[in-house]
Amino acid sequence: MARGRILAAALAAMVAAAAPGSGSRIAEAQMASASSFRVEEDREAPTRGAIAGWVYNDSRETVGLVRMRLEVLDDSGKVVGNQMGWAYGNLRPGDRAYFRIPIPEQRGTRRITIESFVVQSVQSP
């Protein structure tokens, strides 16, 4: 009988600890987003019809398959051309990877954004 009460008390304690709002929540990882990256153009690189540079990973995750979009904007800010490219290799937190994206034929202001990426692992806080 005492054993049954102990088991019931232990079960009640486990349920209370797992309940939302309890003090023992598991910390959620801050997942990387497109704003977790910085892009720097390498103006010294021999480009031969492409833009080259570095993408920096400012997140806590190791990421890979970083897909990038180069957009060409006209004077009014409308996208008149775009091209896709990739950053080479995996990026650990704080790391950088080289990229090269062919330049579209249209002329205008260029904007490079991160289109997508794959989180491979999360660095503990």
pLDDT computed for residue 28 by the predictor: 42
Domain encompassing residue 78: 33-122
Buried b or exposed e, range 33-65, using 16+ CB within 10 angstroms = eeebbebeeeeeeebeeebbbebbbebbbbbee
Please check whether residue 11 lies inside any domain of the structure.
Answer: no
pLDDT computed for residue 47 by the predictor: 73
0.95 surpassed by pTM: no
Mean pLDDT across 22-39: 60
Residue indicated by tokens 């490219």 = 85
Question: Sorting pLDDT into bands at 50, 70 and 90, what band is 16?
Answer: very low
Please check whether residue 67 lies inside any domain of the structure.
Answer: yes
Q: What CATH number is attached to the domain comprising 71?
A: 2.60.40
Mean pLDDT value across the chain? 79
Q: How many domains does the chain have?
A: 1
Please check whether residue 37 lies inside any domain of the structure.
Answer: yes
Higher per-residue pLDDT: 21 or 70: 70
Beta-carbon contacts of residue 50 (< 8 Å; ≥ 6 apart): 85, 100, 101, 102, 103
Please check whether residue 75 lies inside any domain of the structure.
Answer: yes
Write the pLDDT tens digit of every residue in 44-92.
Answer: 877 788 999 999 999 999 999 999 999 999 999 999 999 999 999 999 9
pLDDT computed for residue 45 by the predictor: 78
Please check whether residue 26 lies inside any domain of the structure.
Answer: no
Please check whether residue 51 lies inside any domain of the structure.
Answer: yes
Copy the structure tokens of residue 33: 């987003």
